[in-house]
């Protein structure tokens, strides 16, 4: 249900600073850690001695040492040593292409020969003095595609997030969906409306009046396999909306990475990159707290939606015009998975 020949966010660097981390990505149990010269490494989370999880061990001199009997593993998946034993003849375990970039650790769970670091999506906001970023991680018991559907159709905000970012104008203003190669863009522009509570807080944080009419925008960009970047913000009405100059608006990008754990569970890395008052750490903390509450409201809905779908696999779901972003995103994923399966089948025939 998910392509494996792709880069996924596996964790944040701080999660492996103190020791190894075990995490399942696309059905693969992987141990992440800092190996030689503190470079990130990723091994199959399986000790070749007795099958213990290597992630329960420790890192010593760049080697991952199993916490069961002390077997030491190299970053290349080969056994190095074990107290009182000869283990260098053990077969190597699987390694995974891994890269630390843009404030995340990325992993390629598929065919290592196909991993191209140039395919990791660029993040303009990272290490950029004009931007500030704050985010977090949720574990959600749902298919990653349900979260993509959720983010590519923001009409749910009126109902799920009625006390923070929802408002009736989201229902009233139609959205537009475009497909550009492997990217899907859904956009909505609302003019001369009242800012909802979250955006009033953001306006105040940028030193702008929060009691005047605003223009609001939502531009959702899906990039496969599981990334949705959403340009969001408000500007005082009459100053150009999305194109208003910086002194009249608050502009941000909601950062969303949905990493499949299994067919029905995900690691959801979320955050907001803000292009105003980047030096204000208190504002960053306040926005992160507010955004965390908003996303936690999605969690229950998605998990119970997933349970309903599992309980009733025979039920056909209705498709409306507001679903176009999610539908087009799924078509791209279907093509990716079909191509991947065809490649595997061809490789098997050749063998």
Same-domain check for residues 208 and 291: yes
Helices (H) and strands (E) in the chain, counts: 6, 17
Give the CATH number, domain containing residue 308. Answer: 3.90.380.10
**Is residue 317 domain-shared with residue 293, that is, in the same domain?**
yes
Note the pLDDT of residue 160: 80
DSSP-based three-state secondary structure for 45: coil
Kindly state whether residues 146 and 292 are assigned to the same domain: yes
Q: What is the pLDDT of residues 78-99, one digit of tens each?
A: 999 888 888 888 899 999 999 9
Q: Angle at CA 39, nearest 5°, toward 35 and 41?
A: 60
Any bridge partners for residue 11, and if so which?
105
Domain-terminating residue out of 118, 144, 168: 118
Considering its fold, how many domains does the chain have in total? Answer: 2
pTM of this prediction?
A: 0.94
- Cα–Cα distance for residue pair 332/225, rounded to 1 Å: 9
Query: How do residues 10-37 score in pLDDT, each as one tens digit?
Result: 999 999 999 999 999 999 999 999 998 8
Write down the pLDDT at residue 86. 85
Is there a single domain that holds both residue 108 and residue 137?
no
Are 190 and 332 contained in the same domain?
Answer: yes
Are residues 105 and 138 both part of a single domain? no
Give the DSSP letter of residue 93.
P
Q: Which domain holds residue 172?
A: 132-336
Is 28 part of any domain? Answer: yes
- Per DSSP, the residues of 117-180 read GGGSPP-TTTT-TT-EEEEEEEEESS-HHHHHHHHH-GGGHHHHTTTTT--HHHHHSPPEEEEE
Q: Each residue of 40-51: pLDDT tens digit?
A: 999 999 999 999
Residue 110 lies in a domain: yes
């Amino acid at each position: 249900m998910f392509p494996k020949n792709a880069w996924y966010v596996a964790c944040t660097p701080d999660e492996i600073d103190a020791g190894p981390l075990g995490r399942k990505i696309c059905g693969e149990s992987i141990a992440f850690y800092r190996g030689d010269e503190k470079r990130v490494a990723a091994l199959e989370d399986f000790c070749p001695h007795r099958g213990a999880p290597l992630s329960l061990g420790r890192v010593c001199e760049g080697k991952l040492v199993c916490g069961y009997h002390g077997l030491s593993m190299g970053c290349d998946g080969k056994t190095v040593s074990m107290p009182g034993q000869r283990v260098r003849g053990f077969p190597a375990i699987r390694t995974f292409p891994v890269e630390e970039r843009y404030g995340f650790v990325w992993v390629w769970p598929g065919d290592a020969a196909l991993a191209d670091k140039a395919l990791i999506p660029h993040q303009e906001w990272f290490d950029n003095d004009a931007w500030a970023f704050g985010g977090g991680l949720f574990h959600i018991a749902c298919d990653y595609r349900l979260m993509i559907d959720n983010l590519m159709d923001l009409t749910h905000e009126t109902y799920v997030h009625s006390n923070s970012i929802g408002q009736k104008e989201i229902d009233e203003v139609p959205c537009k969906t475009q497909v550009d190669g492997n990217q899907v863009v859904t956009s909505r522009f609302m003019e001369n409306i009242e800012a909802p509570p979250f955006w009033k807080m953001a306006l105040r944080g940028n030193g702008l009046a929060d009691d005047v009419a605003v223009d609001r925008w939502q531009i959702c960009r899906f990039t496969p396999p599981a990334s949705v970047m959403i340009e969001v913000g408000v500007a005082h009405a009459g100053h150009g909306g999305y194109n208003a100059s910086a002194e009249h608006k608050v502009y941000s990008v909601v950062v969303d990475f949905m990493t499949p754990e299994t067919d029905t569970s995900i690691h959801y890395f979320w955050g907001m990159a803000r292009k105003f008052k980047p030096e204000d750490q208190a504002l960053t903390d306040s926005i992160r707290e507010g955004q965390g509450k908003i996303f936690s409201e999605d969690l229950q809905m998605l998990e119970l939606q997933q349970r309903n779908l599992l309980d009733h696999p025979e039920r056909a779901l209705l498709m409306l015009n507001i679903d176009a972003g999610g539908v087009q995103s799924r078509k791209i994923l279907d093509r990716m998975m079909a191509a991947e399966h065809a490649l595997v089948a061809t490789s098997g025939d050749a063998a």
